[in-house]
Homo-oligomer: A and B are copies of this chain.
Amino acid sequence: MRTAILGAGYMGSAIAFPLSDNGVRVNLWGTWLDDDLIAGARAGCHPRLDKAMPAGVHLYESGQLAEAMADTDFIILAVTSEGFVPVFEKMLKVLDKPVPLLTVTKGFVEINDAIHTISGGADLMFRRKFGEAIPGWVSIGGPVKAVELSNKIPSATIFGYRGDNMPPLFEHFASPYYRIYSVPDVTGTEICSAFKNIYAIVMGICDGLYGNIDASLYHNFKALLFNHAIREIAFLADSEGGQRDTAFHLAGVGDFYVTSASGRNGALGRLIGAGQPPKSAYRRMLDAEEIPEGYHTMQLGRPYLEAGDASRLEHLPLFNCLYRIIFEQADARKELFDFASGWDTQGLP
Contact = CB atoms under 8 A, between A and B. Distances in A.
A227 interface: yes
B253 A217 contact: no
A323 interface: no
A333 to B, nearest CB: 11
B223 A348 contact: no
Contact of A145 (B174, B181, B220): B220
A305 interface: no
Interface stretch (A61-69, A291-299, A338-346): A338-346
Contacts of A320: none
A170 B346 CA distance: 11
A156 B177 CA distance: 36
Given A226-B253, A226-B257, A234-B248, A220 B149 contact: yes
Contacts of A224: 143, 154-156, 179, 250, 254
B227 A153 contact: no
Contact of A181 (B254, B257, B337, B345): B345
A264 interface: no
Interface string A241-262: 0000100111001110110011
A223 B156 CA distance: 8
Copies in the complex: 2
Interface residues on A, range: 35 or more
Contact of A245 (B149, B336, B348): B348
A337 B249 CA distance: 20
B220 A340 contact: no
A6 B222 CA distance: 29
A219 B143 contact: yes
Interface string A137-164: 0000001110111010111100000000
Given A179-B341, A180-B345, A222-B261, 8 more contacts: A148-B220, A154-B224, A156-B224, A156-B228, A223-B257, A227-B257, A231-B248, A245-B348
20 contacts: A144-B220, A148-B219, A148-B220, A154-B221, A154-B337, A155-B220, A155-B221, A156-B224, A156-B228, A176-B341, A179-B341, A179-B343, A181-B345, A220-B258, A222-B257, A223-B250, A224-B254, A226-B257, A227-B249, A227-B257
Give the 3 A-B CB pairs with smallest separation, nearest first.
Answer: A143-B223, A227-B254, A154-B340
